[in-house]
Amino acid sequence: MRFSSILTLACAITAFVLSLLCIFAGSSKSFLQRADLLTLNISRIGHTSIFNTSDGDGGFFSNLVNDLEGDLNSLVNNVTSDIASALNLPDFFNVHVMDFCEGSYLPKPTVHNARENITACSNRSTVFHFDPSKVIQKKLPDGITLEDIHWPTTIEDTEHDLKIVSTTMVVFYIIGIAFAGIAILTALWGIWAGSRLSAVVNFFIDVLAFVTLGIASAIATAIIVKAVEVINKYGDDIGIAAYRGSRFLGMTWGATAVMLLASIVSVAQCCTGGRRRERYNGKGAS
């Protein structure tokens, strides 16, 4: 029995579970909402100087007054009011690998450590791509457009750039999870066989799992960094912000790290397996 294979087995199981949690996070309103790629906070939209109700241009605020029959001047001037609700928008979006969820901050967005109340999640898809411009446009009242709320066109351009990359990320996650699952089986074989062949096969599978999960993690990290950077840079003028999903990053890179460890252990098995067997056979001959 090769006891070092127990370590590779533990690594493979850990990587398999962490990777599954990464792609299935957010599959329901209560499942791992904090393990998101990023959070888009639009609860303070409109609370900036770019929204000027006295310009008299008949644009956003005039339309909103007509549609909502509300006093927008007092709404905007009161920094504790919830313009997002007046616009029929949620306070935030939690963006996951294969879907997004939306909700509101309780008791209200301005309260320190406000609690997230998830109200709905989108359908899950392996070709999912979060398109905040399209999602927000659908939720705006009739007659109100993204241009009316000064939605940055740079964010829309970035969405298109990340669409193909997002699909590629999901594909690598699926392949990585498959290899991690196979690594569990090869590690079990290595525990009982203890041969050089099992060690070589185990190493090959471990490396494939490490590489594919590493690529998926790298793509996810690049998407998160790019999206958060663009949203915070160009969305600050209208009061929106994005936050990185640190828990997700920890999970995905943790899965990658344990498969790297498994690969290193497998290399050691390949190098020492033959000598151990020779020593064992020599003792038996005497």
Q: Please count the residues of the chain.
A: 286
- Angle among Cα 241, 245, 250 to the nearest 5 degrees reads 155
* Higher-scoring residue by pLDDT: 9, 72: 9
Reported as a single tens digit per residue, the pLDDT across 34-84 is: 899 999 998 887 665 555 544 444 455 445 544 444 444 454 444 444 566
Question: Does the structure show a pLDDT above 50 at 150?
Answer: yes
Reported as a single tens digit per residue, the pLDDT across 164-207 is: 888 899 999 999 999 999 999 988 887 877 667 777 888 899 99
Q: Distance between CA 210 and CA 219 in Å, rounded?
A: 14
Reported as a single tens digit per residue, the pLDDT across 112-137 is: 777 888 999 998 888 888 888 888 88
Predicted TM-score (pTM) of the model is: 0.80
The per-residue pLDDT for 55 is 47
**Which stretches within the chain are classed as H helix?**
4-24, 60-68, 72-77, 83-86, 132-139, 153-193, 196-235, 246-285
* Higher-scoring residue by pLDDT: 88, 6: 6
Are 186 and 259 within 8 A, CB to CB?
no
